Structure formats: C-alpha cells, structure tokens
Amino acid sequence: MAKKKLMIHELYQMKAEGRKVTWLTAYDFPTAQFAEAAGLDMLLVGDSLGMCVYGYTGTVPVTMDQCIVHSEAVRRGAPNTFVIGDMPFMSYQRSDEDAVVNAGRFLKEASVDAVKLEGGRRVASRIQAIVDAGIVVCGHLGLTPQSSGQLGGHKAQGRTAVSAEAVIQDALAVHEAGAHLLLLEAVPPEVAGFIAGKLPIPVYGIGAGPQCDGQILIVSDLIGQFQAFTPKFVKKYADVATVITEAMKAYVKGVHEGKFPADEHCYHMLEGEESLFKKLIDKYR
C-alpha cells in the first residue's frame, strides 16, 4: 500500500500526542525516493542545496529557479511525503508582494505543501501575506544562514539570556503572523524546549535539542556526502563519500587493467551476423 501523505492537521495531532516528526532535506529525485521509502514524515528542499549540490560557500547565491527545479524533482520522487520549499535569499526580503508571488511559484510549479522563510519580527508581514494567500508557512529562527553576515557568521543563537529572549520574541511574532510551523536552528535546548512548549504550532529543530516536536537534518550531512565542514549538531549515519570514491577508484582500476568491460557487459552481434560483417568490412581493409 502506498504511503499516506501527512496533512498539516496531522502534524498538529502528532505534536499533541508527543509523536516526533522526522524531517530531512532532499534536493533530487532519487534521494526523495529513498526518503519516502524510509518513511520520512517531511522533506525540505532547502536552500542548503547551494552548498550541497552547487558547491557555493553559502546559501545567498541560490535562486528561485534553482529551488523550483529541485523542488519539482523532489515532488516527483516523493509524491506521498509532505514537502516544503525553502524561499531563497531575495525571494521575499523586498516586499510582501514578492513573498506571495514567489511562495505561489513553489505551489504552482512544484506542487510543494508549504514554504519556509527565515526571520522573525522583521518578516512578520511577509508571513502574514503568504498565509493570507492560503499557503502553509514554516518560520525559521535562530541561526538563519541567509543573514549570517549580520549574525557574525554561522553561530548558534540564544546562548545568552538577552539573545534567548530575542529568539522567543521572534517566535511569538512568527506565530502571531500566522505561521503554521516553526524551525529552530542552532539554539540551546533550554530555549527551544521553552518555545516548543509555549507555542501551539509544531516547533522542529536542527541543533536545537531533543525537546522539539521533531528533528531535521541535512541529508548530505546524514549520509556523509558533504565534505566542506560538519556542524556540531550533525550525526553522520553513513559514509557515502568513501563508498562512492572507492567505487570510482575500482572502476578506474578495472578499465586500466582491462577487466572492465567484461564479456557480460557487451552486446554481441546477432546470430549469423558476425560472418556477414567480417565479409562486409573486407572492402575497408
């Protein structure tokens, strides 16, 4: 039987019942297929694709068109999983109108179930405008990579009482603006736990401790594919970089040693055709 896609009210029910949501990023069709087969509750086509797929040093260069193409592929690979499209830098910062138009593109062109955008009080009107357009919205607070310049780098947030209060005020504003879900990134578990308990909406975490209503990881970290750096909150469940590199080395060796391709990898001529072929090519000798 095909897996049943979760709806937003079921995510709320899971929070009420204390059942943790499992969420992962995905950027392509095969990974989305694996995730759906593995029973993930949700997928995020994160703007982390800038680093994980395109090799940029951050998320800022990522465009709407890139996000749409990858979201389409993920939707095709995981038709029965709740998919969230991540709004890239400058797709919503300028105006509420931009925010609605670009959030709408995710739904119209890639059939995602929701969109995510970074920021608290300063994007409250963007969140409200997207919600008013009938779109499910996930907020994103704490370490917000699109504004990491202002944060002084990719640093955990809310580690002092004053900065923790700022995260809490942003969380309240995101909820008040109508967001249906909230993601906290790199926030102390004490702070994330308080917010998850205070807000009625599901609060998920990455590097925000176990008290959140669910967890997300970047798939390229989880499978051991991303090489540039590994944040403290990552747990590597596999080492595909080694698996892939070893497979490629074995291929190179096989070709150099004349062991690949072997007879079983060849398309031989149809019966009786080889003798005809030999006669035919005589004229080229």
User: In the range 64-93, which residues lie near ligand KIV by CB under 6 A?
Assistant: 86
Instruction: Say if strands 82-86 and 137-142 run parallel, antiparallel, or are unpaired.
Output: unpaired
Q: Which of 36, 72, 170, 185 binds ligand KIV (CB under 6 A)?
A: 185
Q: What DSSP element (H or E) covers 17?
A: helix 8-17
State the burial class of residue 82 (Cβ atoms within 10 Å of its Cβ: 0-12, 13-18, 19+).
Answer: buried
Residue 40 beta carbon to ligand KIV: minimum distance, rounded to whole angstroms: 13
123 to 119, 149, 173: CA distances (angstroms): 6, 17, 9
d(CA 268, CA 259): 17
Contacts of residue 276, Cβ cutoff 8 Å, sequence gap at least 6:
none
Q: Any contact of residue 46 with ligand KIV (CB under 6 A)?
A: yes
Q: Binding to ligand KIV by residue 47, rule CB under 6 A?
A: yes
32-40, 42-50, 125-133, 246-254 -> range binding ligand KIV (CB under 6 A):
42-50
Cα–Cα distance for residue pair 25/32, rounded to 1 Å: 9
Which residues 6+ apart lie within 8 Å of 190 measured at CB? 164, 209
Strand ranges inside 70-212, DSSP E = 82-86, 114-118, 137-142, 181-185, 203-206
Considering the candidates 36, 72, 118, 185, report the single residue annotated as catalytic. 185
Taking CB under 6 A as the criterion, the residue among 78, 206, 212, 223 binding ligand KIV is 206
C-alpha to C-alpha distance for 154 and 120, rounded to whole angstroms: 17
Peptide bond into 261 cis (omega under 30): yes
Stretch that binds ligand KIV, among 40-48, 129-137, 169-177, 241-249 (CB under 6 A): 40-48
When binding is defined by CB under 6 A, the residue of 42, 124, 216, 223 that contacts ligand KIV is 216
Nearer to ligand KIV, 135 or 187 (CB): 187
Give the separation between CA 235 and CA 206, rounded to whole angstroms.
Answer: 11
Q: Give the orientation angle of helix 124-132 with respect to helix 161-176, to 10 degrees.
A: 20
Minimum Å distance from CB 218 to ligand KIV?
5
# binding residues, ligand KIV (CB under 6 A)? 10
Residue nearest to ligand KIV according to CB distances in the complex:
46
Q: Which stretch binds ligand KIV (CB under 6 A): 8-16, 41-49, 70-78, 235-243?
A: 41-49
> Closer to ligand KIV at the Cβ: 155 or 249?
155
- If the CB atoms of residues 45 and 201 are measured against ligand KIV, the closer one turns out to be 45
Q: How far is the CB of 29 from ligand KIV (least distance, A)?
A: 18
| Candidate residues 44, 67, 123, 201; the one interacting with ligand KIV per rule CB under 6 A | 44
185 catalytic per annotation: yes
Which residues contact ligand KIV by CB under 6 A?
25, 44, 46-48, 86, 185, 206, 216, 218
The residues annotated as belonging to the active site are 185
